[in-house]
Amino acid sequence: MSNTSDLMELKEELIREKYSAAESLLDGFDHTPRLAKAKGTPRAEKSSGIGTRRRFRSTTPGLVTKSTARAEGVHIIDRVEGADDGDNLTSPIQANVLYALRRALATAMVVVDQYSDHTGLSQLLKDNLGGGLAASRQSEFTELLAASSVISLHVFANMTSFLLANAHADASDVNVEIGEVEEVLTDNSHLALTGALWELDQDLAIFAGSEDKLIPTVTAFCEQLMEKVALRASNLPKLEAFTSVNYRVEEDDFTVSGFTPFARGKSSKLAMSFKKPNEIVGNHIAKYQAMKLSKMIMAYDFDRKLNPFVELGGFIFTFMGDGKPGTGKTILIQMMAGLINDYCQNAGYPFRYQNLSTESIDSYQGKSAQNAKAFFNNVIDPNVIGFGTIDDIDQLAGKRGDRQSSAGQLEITAVLMESFAGANTVVRGNCTFGMFSNYPENVDDALRQRAGARFLVDGPQSREDYIDILHILMGKNHNIPVGKHKLFETQQIKKAVARSFEAHSKPQEEALIKIYEQTTKKLGKLDTLAKIGTYLDNIQNVDERFTGRAIKNITDAIKVRAMDFELPDEWMEKPDLFLFKDYETKKNMIADLSVPITVDMVLQEINRYADSEFRYADKSDEIAIDNMVRDFGRQEEAKKRYLKGKK
């Protein structure tokens, strides 16, 4: 993870020195595609006798004013200015697009120059040009050229998207699907940029027939290009000199942080009914953890782009809330979103909430995956506080090997698995993702295990719970006495949570109880790491799905217990007391509140996690057996009908 303290400012004069080279690319060049094919026939040119250029050119400072159009080649300026009904004047939107492209190209060139100077690529280029490049350095030279290529492409696409998104926010209402970007070349940075501009020209010709489609087409292209480049960069060496430094363009308030897209933090518009914690009865552990997590996220440091809870341990990046229908999963989402929203409004932080719904499943190949990736990227944006939910995930994400899962559902499963625990996943602590389901046994095992914490949403459980929830839902339009009961006494969160955790001192699922009793009978009290490790091994011997990832989730949950405290409400109400402190101060304040890890904590979290896995596995196995029984029955009936027809 790059550190924003390693900030390198890109001087404005260096960027402006590259304007001429950038303008030359936009004005016109020849390119023969190598990886992509022409996507379609460009829009028809004007009839003979009418110039292909406008009679009047933009007066935007620095843009090209000469008219040297050639019949062949790529002419981005002409293409952009042609995105209307033949108006001879350049519109503000067209001028902004050209300005963004020019400035992004110039910035990309400056970043590549600095990378080249830092890595020695500049000298290798000179040696190669003079024919003096040593054979022993040829491999290094090729690797550095490939690295500079993906750097130039990412910076160009990242900054173009950023400038256009902030200049024309209303353009996001228009959606353009351009498909995959293919002409991603890594021979050298110049060829990489010409290849990208050639493909952009192709997309503009097909999708930007009117001015309202111009910016959406360019930004869609940039998003696809950044995604393709990030994938390519994950397999390339020599990139540490770029990813370990953050580049800053002060005039645009733009920062390059590795291959992460940059955008100013903007809040999403929330249209939901928020709930307060006291409006939720039962669900003690789930409610308590949701309240803690809502405050944990607020410790995120926007300058450092990191949350102290991530460094200290105990931050929940993904969690699963499961329970029977009607036990309160939706109200838990409303409570958590409401808490974070209120905290962010008080601190002046941008908050973004998004739900991935079943509407994201699409019949077009690749579209479901694209929807899931867009959801993830929107929430994980390091410039906002994010909360993403996936309600009814058993319906949304397919289970591999299940013939009833559609291709779209399986695409979503693959994206979520990679996003939540992939090689390129960076947990900064600015967001969390909650998966909710009435039937978690129907969720793919590997995806379910990517949930770092389990929130059992079990609803009201006692006589007192039912009296309290009845009192809340009845409202005030009655005079019925409460009777012998102290309202909400059992809902006191600290006492309720303590009781709930103590209940997990021993297992609750029958299969796990047997393992626990056999282990303790042989080893006695599980009070050492060796004995606890033996208990874990015995669990794995019974259920092979209890893997190393399960152990990691358990240890993460234990670290959460070590942070078994809520940040004081006063810290949220008065941001100067905590939220606006520098990173190191916040980290020290949090560390002072932590408690030692105990054997009881470890066993409780092992039992809590293992109970849930055994519960899911038993139900999943029963469903699989039922399905097989039905299949066998169908086969028998089909055989009978077949033999009957033969007679």
Q: Residue 375's domain is classified under what CATH number?
A: 3.40.50.300
Q: Is residue 49 part of a domain?
A: no
Whose CA is closest to 285, among 613, 608, 597, 516? 608
Count of the separate structural domains present in the chain: 2
194 and 297 housed in the same domain: no
Q: Could you tell me the sign of the dihedral formed by the alpha carbons of 551, 552, 557, 563, in that order?
A: positive
Answer with the one of 193, 224, 257 that is the final residue of a domain.
257
Q: Is residue 449 part of a domain?
A: yes
Q: How confident is the model over 116-133, as pLDDT tens digits?
A: 999 999 999 999 988 888
227 and 328 housed in the same domain: no
Instruction: Fill in the amino acid letter for 333.
Output: I
d(C-alpha 151, C-alpha 176), whole Å: 25
| Window from 261-270, 323-332, 511-520, 578-587 with minimum mean pLDDT | 261-270
d(C-alpha 625, C-alpha 633), whole Å: 12
Q: Quickly count: other Cβ atoms within 10 Å of residue 336's Cβ.
A: 28
Question: What is the token pair recorded at 262?
Answer: 């940059």
d(C-alpha 315, C-alpha 427), whole Å: 9
Q: Which residue has the higher pLDDT, 436 or 626?
A: 436
Task: Work out the percent of the chain whose per-residue pLDDT is above 70.
Answer: 83
pLDDT of residue 19: 96
pLDDT band at 61 (very low <50, low <70, confident <90, very high): very low
Answer yes or no: are the C-beta atoms of 106 and 22 closer than 8 Å: yes
Mean pLDDT confidence for 53-76? 47
Mean pLDDT confidence for 609-638? 73
Contacts of 527 (CB under 8 A, 6+ apart): 599
Q: Give residue 230's domain range.
A: 7-42+71-257
Question: What is the token pair recorded at 4?
Answer: 């924003």
Q: Is residue 47 part of a domain?
A: no
pLDDT of residue 54: 41
Q: Assess whether pLDDT exceeds 50 at residue 3.
A: no
Answer yes or no: are the C-beta atoms of 449 and 399 closer than 8 Å: no
Answer with the one of 190, 222, 257 that is the final residue of a domain.
257
Q: Is residue 250 part of a domain?
A: yes
Kindly report whether the global pTM for this prediction surpasses the value 0.75: no
d(C-alpha 270, C-alpha 563), whole Å: 30
590 and 514 housed in the same domain: yes
pLDDT of residue 631: 76
pLDDT of residue 283: 65
482 and 603 housed in the same domain: yes
Q: Is residue 530 part of a domain?
A: yes
Answer yes or no: are the C-beta atoms of 387 and 379 closer than 8 Å: yes
Q: Is residue 78 part of a domain?
A: yes
pLDDT band at 431 (very low <50, low <70, confident <90, very high): very high
d(C-alpha 122, C-alpha 113), whole Å: 8
Answer yes or no: are the C-beta atoms of 406 and 395 closer than 8 Å: no
pLDDT of residue 146: 96
pLDDT band at 616 (very low <50, low <70, confident <90, very high): low
Whose CA is closest to 437, among 397, 385, 381, 471? 397
Q: Is residue 129 part of a domain?
A: yes
500 and 410 housed in the same domain: yes
334 and 450 housed in the same domain: yes
Q: Is residue 631 part of a domain?
A: no
Q: How confident is the model over 535-564, as pLDDT tens digits?
A: 999 998 888 877 787 888 888 778 877 776
358 and 242 housed in the same domain: no
463 and 595 housed in the same domain: yes
535 and 488 housed in the same domain: yes
Q: Which residue has the higher pLDDT, 72 or 329?
A: 329
Q: Assess whether pLDDT exceeds 60 at residue 71.
A: no
Q: Would you put residue 398 in left (φ > 0), alpha (ψ -120 to 50) or beta?
A: beta
| Window from 42-46, 143-147, 321-325, 455-459 with minimum mean pLDDT | 42-46
pLDDT of residue 614: 79
428 and 534 housed in the same domain: yes
Answer yes or no: are the C-beta atoms of 16 and 103 closer than 8 Å: no
321 and 250 housed in the same domain: no
460 and 500 housed in the same domain: yes
